[in-house]
């Protein structure tokens, strides 16, 4: 095969008005693409966990306040809307999922490489700019990966699929603080900063290699026509509504904004909380405690997936969201090991919230799925807003007291959990996908290259 024909075969452009069989993949057929995309979940879990560790590290080495150190989170999550509603959304709608995966990995690798000179020059502002580029890359990956995993395979298992993939995100958030506790806090300032450089150089090399793997891999592309077909097959009610009337989507995006803000604030100031409330605890030990809390988060993901085999995802979602509020509230006044335990339990119940909001929020959007994904992922900007508020309050009144803000935003997010369980229009839309049989039988097409024109109505399965 000539190089010209190879590149033609690897074209990244997809026609969104053509229906493929990608929306009808069986569990077996969806295994390889899901596994490949799951690597991305690990990557941004690792990056996010590393950011929480660097937050405290820069407070120590650069002598900056909690409010200023939250600039890392502001740069990281502030980039998400620019990606999910801007460049990544445009690429997704005009090219396809694989193009966004490659673009996101390129930005991630570029940002990682650019951190090296900023670290050498001890430039916190420059490092935040690099984190902003990385955030654009990861925002691009999330814009594509979350809806891709949610729709690539039988819709009945949508929440289970995305939570299982997101479990590897949790593993990444465990690995990063453990790594940080050994390479950032146990050395002098010069050596620790040099270690940060090596970590980001390794990240850059890995993601560039992964981008090439995505380029040469045959993974199914899922078009707007596919999603319109899948929504029609599941009898979801939102198919024919214009985008501006997708009120459940906007409620999900609001819940995601509030939830992500609180989750990021807890993780970002976790080490501060432990060192302030637990006598004799230094930053290195606090980083290890953070790794333990993130381990509870990862375990919660697997536990949530298990529960979703027996209970409807919306019920598990409502229970976990309620338990978050119940257990994070005592951490405001109960310090020491008691407060630490409350945060561990809180992170356990946080585990399934983000991916379940994504899956439930995208249900029934049909041809609006790609655009809707941009709104839900863009709501991650809450992670840039809430930590800054918490950081300011922590500088004035201490970290434990500042968690009052965390509780308030969790309560706002909880309104969506209640809606999908008790408001009929929300509940029926969620349950329609849970009962769907699309992709549970035999499929006759296994690649995205075999296309058929989008039907005017429902199409009979071959």
Q: What is the pLDDT of residues 88-104, one digit of tens each?
A: 989 988 888 899 999 99
Which has the minimum average pLDDT: 12-16, 174-178, 407-411? Answer: 12-16
> 190 or 124: whose pLDDT is higher?
124
- 84 secondary structure, DSSP code: I
pLDDT at residue 57 in the model: 66
In a 13 Å sphere around the CA of 68, the CA atoms on its Cβ side amount to: 11
Q: What is the mean pLDDT of residues 187-192?
A: 71
Cα dihedral value 171, 199, 384, 169, nearest 10 = -20
User: What pairing do the DSSP bridges indicate for beta strands 452-453 and 18-19?
Assistant: antiparallel
Q: What is the mean pLDDT of residues 242-267?
A: 90
pLDDT at 233 over 80: no
Structure tokens at 268: 């970002």
Q: What is the mean pLDDT of residues 238-244?
A: 67
pLDDT at residue 443 in the model: 43
pLDDT at 3 over 60: no
322 falls in which pLDDT band (50, 70, 90)? very high
> 65 or 315: whose pLDDT is higher?
315
The pTM for the full model equals 0.73
pLDDT at 7 over 70: no
Q: What is the mean pLDDT of residues 340-350?
A: 94
Q: What is the mean pLDDT of residues 23-30?
A: 75
45 falls in which pLDDT band (50, 70, 90)? confident
pLDDT at 182 over 80: no
pLDDT at 298 over 70: yes
> 287 or 324: whose pLDDT is higher?
324
pLDDT at residue 433 in the model: 61
pLDDT at 383 over 80: yes
191 falls in which pLDDT band (50, 70, 90)? confident
Residue the block writes with tokens 């005592």: 330
**For residues 365-402, b (16+ Cβ closer than 10 Å) or e, as one string?**
bbbbbbbbbbbbbbbbbbbbbbbbbbbbbbeeeebbeb
> 9 or 122: whose pLDDT is higher?
122
Rg of the chain, C-alpha, whole Å: 22
pLDDT at residue 459 in the model: 36
> 410 or 155: whose pLDDT is higher?
410
Region label for 319, one of left (φ > 0), alpha (ψ between -120 and 50) or beta (otherwise): alpha
pLDDT at 367 over 80: no
Q: What distance in Å separates the CA atoms of residue 79 and residue 134, rounded to the nearest whole number?
A: 8
242 falls in which pLDDT band (50, 70, 90)? confident
pLDDT at residue 236 in the model: 54
pLDDT at 152 over 50: yes
CA nearest neighbour of 226 among 368, 18, 456: 18
Instruction: Judge residue 305's burial from the number of C-beta atoms within 10 Å of its C-beta, 0-12 exposed, 13-18 middle, 19 or more buried.
Output: buried
- As a whole number, the mean pLDDT across the chain is 81
Which uninterrupted H or E stretch holds 411?
Answer: helix 399-422
pLDDT at residue 32 in the model: 87
3-state helix, strand, coil in the chain (%, to 5): 80, 0, 20
Query: What percent of the chain lies above the pLDDT cut of 90?
Result: 26
């Amino acid at each position: 095969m000539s190089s010209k024909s190879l590149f033609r075969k690897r074209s990244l452009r997809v026609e969104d008005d053509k229906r493929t069989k990608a929306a009808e993949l069986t569990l077996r057929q969806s295994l390889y693409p899901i596994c490949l995309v799951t690597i991305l979940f690990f990557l941004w879990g690792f990056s996010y966990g590393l950011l929480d560790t660097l937050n405290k590290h820069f407070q120590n080495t650069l002598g900056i306040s909690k409010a200023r150190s939250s600039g890392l989170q502001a740069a990281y999550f502030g980039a998400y809307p620019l990606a999910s509603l801007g460049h990544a959304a445009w690429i997704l709608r005009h090219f396809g999922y694989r193009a966004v995966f490659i673009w996101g990995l390129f930005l991630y690798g570029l940002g990682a490489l650019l951190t090296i000179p900023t670290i050498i020059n001890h430039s916190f502002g420059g490092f935040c700019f690099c984190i902003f580029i990385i955030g654009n890359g990861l925002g691009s990956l999330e814009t594509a990966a979350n809806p891709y995993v949610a729709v690539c395979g039988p819709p009945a298992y949508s929440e289970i699929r995305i939570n299982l993939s997101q479990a590897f995100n949790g593993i990444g958030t465990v690995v990063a603080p453990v790594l940080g506790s050994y390479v950032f806090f146990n050395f002098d300032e010069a050596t620790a900063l040099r270690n940060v450089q090596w970590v980001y150089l390794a990240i850059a090399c890995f993601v560039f290699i992964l981008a090439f793997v995505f380029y040469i891999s045959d993974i199914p592309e899922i078009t707007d026509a596919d999603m319109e077909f899948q929504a029609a097959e599941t009898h979801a009610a939102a198919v024919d509504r214009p985008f501006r009337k997708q009120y459940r989507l906007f409620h999900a995006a609001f819940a995601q904004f509030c939830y992500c803000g609180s989750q990021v604030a807890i993780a970002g100031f976790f080490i501060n909380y432990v060192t302030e409330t637990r006598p004799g605890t230094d930053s290195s030990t606090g980083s290890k405690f953070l790794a333990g809390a993130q381990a509870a988060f990862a375990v919660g993901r697997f536990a949530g997936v298990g529960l979703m085999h027996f209970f409807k995802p919306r019920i598990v979602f409502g229970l976990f969201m309620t338990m978050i509020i119940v257990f994070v509230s005592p951490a405001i006044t109960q310090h020491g090991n008691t407060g630490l335990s409350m945060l561990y339990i809180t992170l356990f119940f946080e585990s399934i919230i983000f991916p379940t909001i994504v899956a439930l929020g995208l249900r029934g959007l049909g041809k609006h799925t790609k655009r809707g994904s941009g709104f839900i992922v863009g709501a991650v900007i809450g992670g840039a807003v809430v930590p800054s508020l918490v950081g300011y309050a922590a500088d004035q009144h201490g970290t434990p007291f500042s968690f009052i803000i965390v509780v308030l935003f969790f309560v706002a997010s909880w309104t969506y959990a209640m809606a999908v369980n008790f408001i009929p229009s929300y509940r029926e839309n969620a349950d329609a996908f849970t009962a769907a049989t699309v992709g549970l039988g035999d499929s006759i097409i296994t690649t995205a290259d075999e296309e058929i024109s989008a039907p005017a109505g429902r199409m009979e399965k071959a």
